[in-house]
Structure 1
Amino acid sequence: MNHEDNSRAALIDALNGLLADHFALYLKTKSFHWHVTGPQFRDLHLLFDGQATEILALTDVIAERVRKNGGLTLTSIGAITARSQIADQDNARLDPRAMIGELADDNRKLIAAMRDVKAIANAAGDNATDGAADDWTDQAEQRVWFLSALVA
């Protein structure tokens, strides 16, 4: 394998990790949407739903970057679980403040992963992924901003 092949393989691997993180965060955000309670119910219910929709929309874009780079994408829940750095949260009665904190922290993890993808894409000469990573990062930063404003 030459340097270009190694760079491309590293990018595919990083993108698949990012894809797994997005699927895991989508499911967690959607679960919080379903299970949130309390005085802020309506606002949080709508916020979590909007954020889940935004996160899910990126999964196809990220997967297509994997395919355009000649790679194969994740194929199962098991593959997602094996690759994601987003921890499961099975407590359906979690306090809304804890939900907000977890989602903010998880989105920060996505931001770090997207910055890594950007650097790897740059090294691999993939300008399209490099540029797209900026938009993905901006979306995650906005989610963190909105979530953090709720507990300030």
Structure 2
Amino acid sequence: MSIDIGIKPKDRKAIADGLSHLLADTYTLYLKTHNFHWNVEGPMFNTLHLMFETQYTELALAVDLVAERIRALGYPAPGSYSAYAKLSSIKEANGQPKAEEMIRQLVEGQEAVVRTARKVFPAAEKASDEPTADLLTQRMQVHEKNAWMLRSLLA
């Protein structure tokens, strides 16, 4: 059955493509944050272990929201490691970095997600796609706050 939500098919496709990059970044950051939660060590262990758990839990919910928006626009949501590796701007962590390096990498990851979300706005605004714009705004607020909180640990 065709989709008639007041957004042209080519605009829906452009938005879904942008959201696919956002989904890949969000999932990659989720995986990195969960990995660091498991493997953090040192004097800040308890603080970081709990902070990382809070963040990866929120990210796990976020991937569902982004994927469901892609589906609502009529396109398949990417859902494999290989697809995410192609679409994500966030690199995987190699080895087991020290706690301070974990924090730095997560700040970079949080900021990368914000930049990716920002890139989707023009397509959403052009199509008057308020649900996507709202989703992007919410995601940017969360990631900007997380980046600030993580960055404060490095001061």
Percent pairwise identity: 34
Q: Distance in 2 between matches of 1:82 and 1:116?
A: 17
More helix by share: 1
Q: Which residue of 2 aligns with 1:63?
A: 67
Structure 2's unaligned 5+ residue stretches are: 1-6
One-letter code of the match for 2:111?
R
Normalization by structure 2: what TM-score? Answer: 0.92
Aligned to 1:147: 150
Picking from 82, 85, 89, the partner of 2:89 is: 85
Name structure 1 gaps, 5 residues minimum. none
Aligned residues: 149
Alignment of 1:6-25 (within 5 A): 6-25=10-29
The answer to whether 1:124 aligns with 2:145 is: no
* Regions of 4+ moved over 6 Å: none
CA RMSD of aligned residues (A): 1.3
Residue pairs, 1:85-104, within 5 angstroms: 85-92=89-96, 94-104=97-107
Distance in 1 (CA, whole Å) between partners of 2:79 and 2:17 is: 14
TM-score using structure 1 length: 0.93
- 1:83 Cα shift? 1.0
Contact 1:12–1:71 (CA under 8 A) maintained in structure 2: yes
1:72 maps to what in 2? Answer: 76
